Structure 1
């Protein structure tokens, strides 16, 4: 029971007690007064009637005595009058029935008034003439008592109604600060740190509100400190201090993650020997300033060409990871890069198209980090040997389908639901029980098995992401995959679905009609949170309000604040697998621990990804993560 109801009930009970006490006092006082009044009236009547009957009794006039008594008796205040003549013992009796108009019989049956009788002997001198016995009629008492109590009950009822209304309004106003404290406490428990509460005038509540405001500010400061710590550790471990670009360690981890995802794109390796010339002419300070300016220009111009990661991997070497592009788009990116470098070379007083070389390797099929690095490095060395600005690594692998063929195959597969499925268990750290299963899909075109890594780039390129996600979600419901296991199923959402309002409405309708929606999880990439925060928040609200769950995929990959965790409140985060790739240095562990502490501080489960063997998992055990996934427990085919 709420505090409001407890106080309200207490006031209700106290008021009832007061009303009942007043009613009881009023009842007993009225009853006593009426009884005394009837006794007094009976005494007066008995005395006066006895005096008036003396002449008739002396004369033996029975008719006169009867007439006189009838006049008194017809007033209705007496239940019985009995006159006994002492001369001959003759008795005369007058009676009124016990019926009272306007008073319910059950009230009369309560017997609230005792029988009141007065007996007197009528004498004249020393001679006793008759004995007179009068019994009072209780009708007057019952009638007056009933009238008084009904009026009192009506007044008390009106006062009671007014009192409880005023009590409710007053308690609501008085306890409003306490209600705000309770709501604020819930928000703090959910790690929401909003603005401070207004300080009430009530002395006791004033100190409580001030304490809550102070606690909220401290917790907010702690979270901000953790967020700042993550930022500082990233700068320290993953950022080159001169160029402010990601360093070699970050690029290697990002390469590993990129190659494990269904993406296309290319890697460009660049060697900038002209920077060494700047160093020899003007010194290291000018060289560092030139590197910083070059980095700024490259980020400024290349971001518009294609989504990419630019890193400084050595003193005069840079790497450019184009995370999603086809050959033509990669060519445009390359042209923009060459133009940007030549502009900075000219500003430094060096000759354009000299003093630098580029090697380009495109991602084809299944590749490892070593494969693509070797190809890009071979292309770079070829460019240096031939004294060319760039060299494109040639591969004999042919493209599986043209863009139009991909469109035809994918559209047909989505409309007909021709996908094959696998799911990969996510295991708890403690006892290897399954926390959830992440769903993967693949295609069979003719006799060829097409993996997600091959067709997903074209799904994004052809804007089929929302249709594919709808197909996968409908398959989960249509094929009753949720009935096969008790664990939730996780689905990776595409960027297009996250930004598609029509998909939001469709998903809202589907989740409302699903009986097992609490066992559906949606993975949202962290990059989408930064690029489309409003769309992500709208989608997450739909998922959470319908009882489903969602998590952040590739957690910790992006350079930015972790404050979005407070707004979105995901159920879990999947640590980017680059952290599994990073070396076991103290700095890497500090960064990983800080990221995990940010999530754990908000009571968010942390799942480690990219685990290939048990020894690798042991690095994360001291960090107190919740679960892990990777090829240590590979995906399993689902028979539909």
Structure 2
């Protein structure tokens, strides 16, 4: 029971006790007063009648005596008058039936008034003439007592209702600061740190509000410090200090993670010997400034073509990782890279199309890190040897389908729901139990099984992300996958769906009509959070309000603040696969632990991904992460 209801009930009880006590006092006092009044009336009537009857009794006139008694009796206040003549013993009796109008029978049956009888002897001097006995009629008492009690109850009821209404509004006003404090405490418990509460007028609550504001500010500072610590560790371990770009270690780990998940794309290795010329002409300070400006230009222009990871892996060597794109987009990326380089080379006073070489290796089939880096390096060496600005590593594998063929195949698969599914368990580190299953999709085209990495770039390129997500979610629900196991199913959302308001409305309607919304988890890539936080917040609110869950995928991949965790409040985060491939040293361990502490401090489950072997899992044991995922527990085909 809330404090408001407790105080309200206490006031209600006290007021009811007061009213009951006053009613009881009023009732007993009124009853006593009416009894005394009837007794006094009997005395007066007996005395008056005794005086009036003396002449008639002395003369023995029965008719006169009866007339005088009738005058008194017809008033209706007496139940019975009995006159006994002492001379001859004759007795006259007058009776009045008990009829009480306007008073309920149950009230009369309470027998609140006892029979009051007054007996007296009528004398004339020393001579006793008659004996008269008068019995009071209780109707007067019942009628008056009922009238007074009824009016009292009506007045008390009105006062009671007024008091209840006034108490409700009064308590609501008085306890308003306490209610605000309660809401603020809930937000603090959920790690939501808003502005300080204004101090209320109540003195006792002023100290409490001040304490809460101080506690909230301290907790906010703790999480801000954790966020800053993560940023500092990232900058120290994974960022090149001159260019501000990721370093070689980060790039290698990203490539490992990229190859460990279904995707496509290419790696560009570039060697910029013209920077050595800048160094020899102007010194290392100008060279470093040139590298910094070049890095900024490359990030600006290349990310407009396609999201990519640009890293400085050696003094004059750079690497470019472009993911989830087709061959034509890679060509456009290369052209933009060449154009940007030539502009910067010209600004530095060097000759365009000289002093640099680029090698390109496109991802094909199943490749290891050493395979694709070797191909990219061979392409780079070929470019240097032939004195060309770039060389594309030749491969025997060709593009399976053109863009329009992919459009037809994907549109048909979405329309007719031809996708096949696998799910991969996510295991708890504590007891190896399955806590959720992530769903992957495949597609059979011309009797060949195509993995998501082969067709997902075209899904994004052809703007089919929303339609595909709707198709996959409907297929999961229509085939009752939510009812086949108790573990939640994790479904990855595309960038287009996250930014599409129509998808948000569709998903809200679907979840409202779903039997087990709590068994669905939607995974949002961290890159979407940084690029479109507003739509992410709107989508997350819809998911949460309808009973489903959501998590952040590729957590820690982006270089930025993690304050978004406080506003989104996901159920879990999945550490990016690149952390599973980082070198096992103290600095990287501290970075992973700091990332996990930020999430766990907000009561968010932390799942490490990309675990292939037991040795990898043991690296994260000391961090006490909640769960792990990877090909240590491979995906399993789902049969409908």
Q: TM-score range by the shorter chain?
A: over 0.9
Contact map agreement 2:324 2:453 (CA 8 A) in 1: no
1:497 matches 2:497: yes
1:276 matches 2:303: no
Alpha-carbon distance, 1:259 to partner = 2.2
Alpha-carbon distance, 1:552 to partner = 0.7
Written as runs of structure 1 = structure 2, the 5 A alignment for 1:162-201 is: 162-201=162-201
Q: Using the alignment, how far apart are the partners of 1:105 and 1:78 within structure 2?
A: 20
Say which is worse superposed, 159-168 or 415-424, in terms of deviation: 415-424
Q: Using the alignment, how far apart are the partners of 1:304 and 1:106 within structure 2?
A: 91
Deviations 1:143-166 (A, max 9, x none): 211111111111111111111111
Contact map agreement 2:326 2:457 (CA 8 A) in 1: no
Alpha-carbon distance, 1:241 to partner = 0.7
Alpha-carbon distance, 1:570 to partner = 1.0
SS of the residue corresponding to residue 29 of structure 2 reads: helix
Say which is worse superposed, 327-336 or 599-608, in terms of deviation: 327-336
1:542 matches 2:542: yes
Deviations 1:234-269 (A, max 9, x none): 111111111111111111111122223333222111
1:616 is matched with 616
Alpha-carbon distance, 1:104 to partner = 2.0
Q: Using the alignment, how far apart are the partners of 1:602 and 1:24 within structure 2?
A: 59
Deviations 1:555-603 (A, max 9, x none): 0001111111111111111110100000111111111111111111111
Alpha-carbon distance, 1:380 to partner = 1.0
2:337 is matched with 337
Contact map agreement 1:58 1:129 (CA 8 A) in 2: yes
Q: Using the alignment, how far apart are the partners of 1:130 and 1:165 within structure 2?
A: 65
1:397 is matched with 397
Alpha-carbon distance, 1:296 to partner = 1.6
2:222 is matched with 222
Alpha-carbon distance, 1:301 to partner = 2.1
Alpha-carbon distance, 1:64 to partner = 1.3
Alpha-carbon distance, 1:350 to partner = 2.6
TM-score after normalising by structure 2: 0.97
2:311 is matched with 311
Q: Using the alignment, how far apart are the partners of 2:405 and 2:374 within structure 1?
A: 31
2:300 is matched with 300
Q: Using the alignment, how far apart are the partners of 2:325 and 2:636 within structure 1?
A: 30
Say which is worse superposed, 511-520 or 279-288, in terms of deviation: 279-288
Contact map agreement 1:86 1:128 (CA 8 A) in 2: yes
Q: Using the alignment, how far apart are the partners of 2:551 and 2:304 within structure 1?
A: 29
Q: Using the alignment, how far apart are the partners of 1:452 and 1:39 within structure 2?
A: 105
Q: Using the alignment, how far apart are the partners of 2:247 and 2:555 within structure 1?
A: 19
Contact map agreement 1:233 1:591 (CA 8 A) in 2: yes
2:630 is matched with 630
Contact map agreement 1:262 1:455 (CA 8 A) in 2: no
Written as runs of structure 1 = structure 2, the 5 A alignment for 1:48-67 is: 48-67=48-67
Alpha-carbon distance, 1:500 to partner = 2.0
Deviations 1:458-490 (A, max 9, x none): 222222222221221122122222222221111
1:212 is matched with 212
2:155 is matched with 155
Alpha-carbon distance, 1:365 to partner = 2.3
SS of the residue corresponding to residue 25 of structure 1 reads: helix
Contact map agreement 2:419 2:441 (CA 8 A) in 1: yes
Say which is worse superposed, 121-130 or 374-383, in terms of deviation: 121-130
Distance change >3 Å, CA 296–CA 446, structure 1 → 2:
closer
Alpha-carbon distance, 1:212 to partner = 1.3
Structure 1 unmatched ranges of 5 or more: none
Q: Using the alignment, how far apart are the partners of 1:420 and 1:159 within structure 2?
A: 72
1:325 is matched with 325
Written as runs of structure 1 = structure 2, the 5 A alignment for 1:418-567 is: 418-567=418-567
SS of the residue corresponding to residue 619 of structure 2 reads: coil
2:601 is matched with 601
Alpha-carbon distance, 1:187 to partner = 1.2
Deviations 1:280-332 (A, max 9, x none): 33322222112112112222222223221111111111111122333333233
SS of the residue corresponding to residue 423 of structure 1 reads: strand
Q: Using the alignment, how far apart are the partners of 1:480 and 1:78 within structure 2?
A: 87
Contact map agreement 2:324 2:456 (CA 8 A) in 1: no
1:353 matches 2:353: yes
1:7 matches 2:7: yes
Alpha-carbon distance, 1:194 to partner = 1.5
Say which is worse superposed, 267-276 or 15-24, in terms of deviation: 267-276
SS of the residue corresponding to residue 506 of structure 2 reads: helix
Deviations 1:411-461 (A, max 9, x none): 222222222221111111012111111111112223322222212222222
Alpha-carbon distance, 1:105 to partner = 2.2
Contact map agreement 1:30 1:145 (CA 8 A) in 2: yes
Contact map agreement 2:435 2:488 (CA 8 A) in 1: yes
How many residues are matched?
640
Alpha-carbon distance, 1:15 to partner = 0.9
Written as runs of structure 1 = structure 2, the 5 A alignment for 1:71-86 is: 71-86=71-86
Contact map agreement 1:262 1:457 (CA 8 A) in 2: no
Q: Using the alignment, how far apart are the partners of 1:420 and 1:143 within structure 2?
A: 88
Q: Using the alignment, how far apart are the partners of 2:486 and 2:501 within structure 1?
A: 31
Q: Using the alignment, how far apart are the partners of 1:471 and 1:175 within structure 2?
A: 51
Say which is worse superposed, 225-234 or 364-373, in terms of deviation: 364-373
Deviations 1:70-114 (A, max 9, x none): 111111121111111111111111111111222222222211122
Q: Using the alignment, how far apart are the partners of 1:495 and 1:304 within structure 2?
A: 16
Q: Using the alignment, how far apart are the partners of 2:52 and 2:407 within structure 1?
A: 127
Say which is worse superposed, 375-384 or 117-126, in terms of deviation: 117-126
Structure 2 unmatched ranges of 5 or more: none
Q: Using the alignment, how far apart are the partners of 1:398 and 1:148 within structure 2?
A: 104
Q: Using the alignment, how far apart are the partners of 1:625 and 1:110 within structure 2?
A: 76
Q: Using the alignment, how far apart are the partners of 1:511 and 1:197 within structure 2?
A: 36
1:586 is matched with 586
1:121 is matched with 121
Give 4+ residue runs of structure 1 displaced > 6 Å after superposition. none
1:32 is matched with 32
Q: Using the alignment, how far apart are the partners of 1:328 and 1:464 within structure 2?
A: 18
Q: Using the alignment, how far apart are the partners of 1:598 and 1:635 within structure 2?
A: 29
Q: Using the alignment, how far apart are the partners of 1:484 and 1:27 within structure 2?
A: 71
Contact map agreement 1:298 1:340 (CA 8 A) in 2: yes
Q: Using the alignment, how far apart are the partners of 1:312 and 1:67 within structure 2?
A: 133
Contact map agreement 1:365 1:454 (CA 8 A) in 2: no
Alpha-carbon distance, 1:125 to partner = 2.2
